[in-house]
A = this chain, B = another copy of it.
Amino acid sequence: MPAMDSPAGPFPVSLDIAVAWGEMDAYQHVNNTVYLRWCESARIVYFARTGLLSRKDQEGVGPILARQSIDYRRPVSYPDTVRVGVGVTRIGGSSFTMGYSVYSLAQQAEVASADSVIVLLDYRAGRSTPVDAALRAAIEELEGRAV
């Protein structure tokens, strides 16, 4: 697990993403929605590593984004690469909370932090379903600690 002061922060999974020129908007900074695409890309890597991404096809159980919040600390512009750290910070009954840190390699500074609440959904039944022991174990193994 990275140390607290690493670019990815306290998070066990991190992903480097190159900023595309076309992601800047008319204010000549990367558009606010792109930061959430970055978080999504890191989240998908986390889901793949815990087996959650393939369970949707196999068992009809998958994650759904219920809520997210983001603090924009600094504008980002092209060229740059962002390092997105992601981890699970809390496990609830049928949901869990993920935290994100977005760090600019060009600026050598955190440019955003975010949180999201993921609900586990049984797509066939159309309702939420409990976080089972297998998923909890996969998350805790990835986190390297009890959550």
Q: Which residues of A contact B (CB under 8 A)?
A: 17-18, 20-22, 24-28, 31-34, 36-37, 40-41, 44, 48, 62, 64-72, 75, 78-79
Contact = CB atoms under 8 A, between A and B. Distances in A.
B21 A44 contact: yes
A131 to B, nearest CB: 19
A25 B25 CA distance: 4
Given A24-B25, A32-B40, 13 more contacts: A17-B20, A21-B44, A25-B25, A25-B26, A26-B28, A26-B78, A32-B65, A33-B37, A33-B40, A36-B36, A44-B78, A67-B69, A69-B69
Contacts of A71: 66-67
- A-B CB proximity, top 9 nearest: A69-B69, A24-B26, A21-B44, A33-B33, A26-B28, A33-B36, A20-B41, A67-B71, A32-B65
A25 to B, nearest CB: 6
Nearest to A73: B66
16 contacts: A20-B37, A20-B40, A21-B40, A21-B41, A22-B33, A24-B26, A26-B26, A26-B28, A31-B40, A32-B36, A33-B34, A33-B36, A33-B40, A48-B79, A66-B72, A67-B70
